[in-house]
Amino acid sequence: MKFSFARGALALTALLTLASCGGGKATFPINVSVTGVSYDGLVLTTNGQELPIHYTGDPKTPATINAVFPNGIEYGEIYTVVPKTVTTTGSDGKAVTTVSYPQHQTCSPASGYPIGLPITGTAGHLSKIQINYTCSINAYPLTGKVTGLRGTGLSLANGSGVAPVSISPALGTDNQPTGADITSLTLFSVTYATTYGVTVLSQPTGQTCTVSGGANGTGAGTMDQAAETAGGVSNFVISCVTNPT
């Protein structure tokens, strides 16, 4: 009899607890942390909700922004937090998909424990829903061609902090330098809003090479909006001539 009374009391307590909570499922807020934010424009989305990540500070000082989606999700509900995508029709009639990254940046899920939590899951499997993203400035190539190269030892540099790029001459069927043009050569990769200055670090044996192209015609410039739209700077020419004897 005592056991029946105790069991009834426990049931009543559980019922009162549920009633005090409205009788619904537990809800979980979706917390987000984004590191490396330098520009505005990132929009994250999940379960019909959108979360803009605003930043209006100095692009040279990346920020970590913490935010929470407007509404929590119920226990057992599946979530996947990803950047918002918008699909439009281009002038050629083809579908164009745009990802709502920050301007001049790309963001991806953070990796490495403990921040490497999944961006998808089920509410309630963990005590807290925590989504972590990392953003980085987009980089674009400096490309061009080399003409007249016959000697070995040509090396180019971009400023003082970039590892030099060594270029070997084109070889013929006899394995001898031909001086033929080397086209579609990628020289360096430069992040948006960063200046560049391609110079000859070391000359090839018996030759002298000069650099032209870039924004100012002499191998220098800034990876600006126009260069970003074009996908990089592709007008570099490294011209090599044989030294007079």
Q: Considering only CA atoms, which of 240, 234, 217 is closest in space to residue 147? A: 240
pLDDT score recorded for residue 184 = 87
C-alpha torsion sign, points 201, 205, 208, 209: negative
Domain range list for the chain? 24-136, 139-242
What is the Cα Rg of the chain in Å?
A: 29
Token pair 């006899």 is found at: 174
What tens-digit pLDDT sequence spans the chain (245 residues)?
A: 444 434 444 433 333 344 344 557 899 999 999 999 999 999 999 999 999 999 999 999 999 999 999 999 999 999 999 999 999 888 888 898 999 999 999 999 997 655 556 899 999 998 999 999 999 999 999 999 999 999 999 999 998 878 999 999 999 999 999 999 999 899 999 999 999 999 999 999 999 999 999 999 999 999 999 999 999 999 999 999 999 98
pLDDT score recorded for residue 18 = 40
Question: Can you say whether residue 147 is alpha, beta or left, with left for phi > 0 and alpha for psi between -120 and 50 degrees?
Answer: beta
- CA 77/CA 123 separation, integer angstroms: 5
pLDDT score recorded for residue 90 = 81
Element (H, E) at 226: helix 225-229
pTM, full prediction: 0.83
